[in-house]
Amino acid sequence: MRWLPALTLIATSAGVPMLAAAEDLSPRDFAYAAPITTPVASSAYRIAIPLEVYRNVAHEDLRDIRVFNARGELVPYELQQPQPKTPAQSPGPALPLFPLRGAARVKLDGLQISVQSQGAAIDVHADQHESEPALITSYVVDARDLTVPVSALELHWPDGAADFSGGLRVESSNDLAAWQTVRSNAPVLNLRAPGAQLLQSRVEFPSTRAKFWRLTWVGKPAQFGLSSIDADTSVGKPQVERVSLTVPATSRDDKRREFSFDLGARLAVNQINIELAEPNSVAQLQILSRAHAGDGWRPVTEAEFFRVQSGASERRNDPIAISTNFDRYWLVRATPPDNAIGAVAPQLQASWNAQDLVFLARGSGPFVLAYGSGSAAAASSELSVLLQGVSVQRAELGTPRPAGGPGRLQPAPRVVPWKMVVLWSILGVGIMVLGWMTYRLSREVSRTRPGKP
């Protein structure tokens, strides 16, 4: 039994990881590479992921992309969604403005208000029995011509107006009787210093639709009167940046009224639209998809799509939101088949949320984005917290070129881990030997045991 410790030592030694030193990755381990142009020096850069990258990666989650520096070293990166874009401020029309003179709390029942139903005029007359203070305390704004909500009011006053620092209460109404406070104290500034001027003339509030607005100075009124007011009609919350791809039909079945489409990539599609080719067309369409050309079709959604001409303008349906779908192949089927799609095949528009790649500029440039590897594992880092307060500059992706070639898109051949096989074989033999020895020992003990009297 002297050889048992030796066997145990061999088995234990084999249990130590026996992995060969892995070779460092290089751009040639990926199918394609594209140079990254960094216009200014920075600690971190952001590049938009173009459609070309989606079309030439092996994994739909983009795990097979890397960034290399000039020394061929990997640098930390993270895939992020761009910051939502705030709708651009769009100055609207100038609104009719009517000053009200009196105490800060003007009673509307002390006014004579005439609204012409046939036009846009509104007349405001103060009670003649009350004295008229010199200062304007409130304004009534006529917004009946607006058909969209208002998100801000831009105030204008004469050049050379007296210095002022105060606030405005903004109220809305649809009947000049009941008023709702939209903002209780919006700052308004008109201050001057030698060689400088501080203005705050924009009053912002939650997007609201109303026929009339009332602006009342909070506390001491301004020494000047407002000359005009513009409405800002930009509406909506900050919008997530989206990317769209429109593709023609690759085949059609006129008998079944079916049209098939190939996106050429597996994209995270979450919005779909069918663009009808001919004006004045309406069609009830079913949309289906599949990941591979040989798979069966799976239903995605069904909706009505239209394109109606009205003089010089045209009305179309809005895109349809769907659950995130990575399928490459799509099918559009008319339901019923006699729907008036028209003689020309429609087009399919797929949209998805844009993605950026943010990387740390470790080492010197130029940097290279490499992508397309069937054997790559996920390597994205968590950089969001690290980049707080760091200026991330926008970089541009250059023309891609072959690196390791399209063959890198195939999964790596499965390598038999022979060292692991040897390990488990030794352990298996050791267990069998220990079992046999236990059996022999039990037999010897039973022979030497004295018999019962």
Domain match, 345 and 365 both: no
Residue 235: φ, ψ to 5°: -130, 170
Domain match, 72 and 95 both: no
Domain match, 228 and 250 both: no
Residues 6+ apart with CB under 8 A from 365: 36, 38, 69, 70
Domain of residue 35: give its range.
27-82+356-409
Portion of the chain with pLDDT greater than 70, in percent: 81
Examine residue 44 and state whether it is found in any structural domain, yes or no.
yes
Domain match, 187 and 131 both: yes
Give the per-residue pLDDT at 87: 58
Amino acid code (one letter) for 267: L
Boundary of a domain, candidates 232, 265, 287: 232
Examine residue 367 and state whether it is found in any structural domain, yes or no.
yes
Cβ atoms within 10 Å of 377's Cβ, excluding its own: 8
User: Is the Cβ–Cβ distance between 421 and 429 less than 8 Å?
Assistant: no
Domain match, 101 and 204 both: yes
List, as own/partner pairs, every contact residues 128-135 make where C-beta atoms lie below 8 angstroms and the sequence separation is at least 24, other chains included: 130/102, 132/101, 132/102, 133/101, 133/102, 133/103, 134/101, 135/101, 135/221, 135/222, 135/223
Residues 6+ apart with CB under 8 A from 434: 4
User: Is the Cβ–Cβ distance between 172 and 178 less than 8 Å?
Assistant: no
Examine residue 270 and state whether it is found in any structural domain, yes or no.
yes
| Structural domains of the chain, count | 3
Do the bridges between strand 298-310 and strand 313-316 make them parallel or antiparallel, or are there none, so unpaired? antiparallel
Instruction: Inform me whether the pLDDT recorded for 370 exceeds 90.
Output: yes
Give me the mean pLDDT over the 198-224 stretch.
Answer: 89
Instruction: Inform me whether the pLDDT recorded for 427 exceeds 50.
Output: yes
Examine residue 18 and state whether it is found in any structural domain, yes or no.
no
Examine residue 442 and state whether it is found in any structural domain, yes or no.
no
Nearest-CA neighbor of 326 among 254, 279, 270, 370? 270
Express each pLDDT in 250-290 by its tens digit. 988 877 788 999 999 999 999 999 999 888 888 899 999 99
- Least confident range from 49-63, 68-82, 119-133, 394-408: namely 119-133
CATH number of the domain bearing residue 308: 2.60.120.260
Domain match, 267 and 310 both: yes
Examine residue 419 and state whether it is found in any structural domain, yes or no.
no
Examine residue 259 and state whether it is found in any structural domain, yes or no.
yes
Examine residue 340 and state whether it is found in any structural domain, yes or no.
yes
Express each pLDDT in 122-139 by its tens digit. 555 555 555 555 588 999
Domain match, 115 and 226 both: yes
Domain match, 296 and 338 both: yes
User: Is the Cβ–Cβ distance between 364 and 71 less than 8 Å?
Assistant: yes
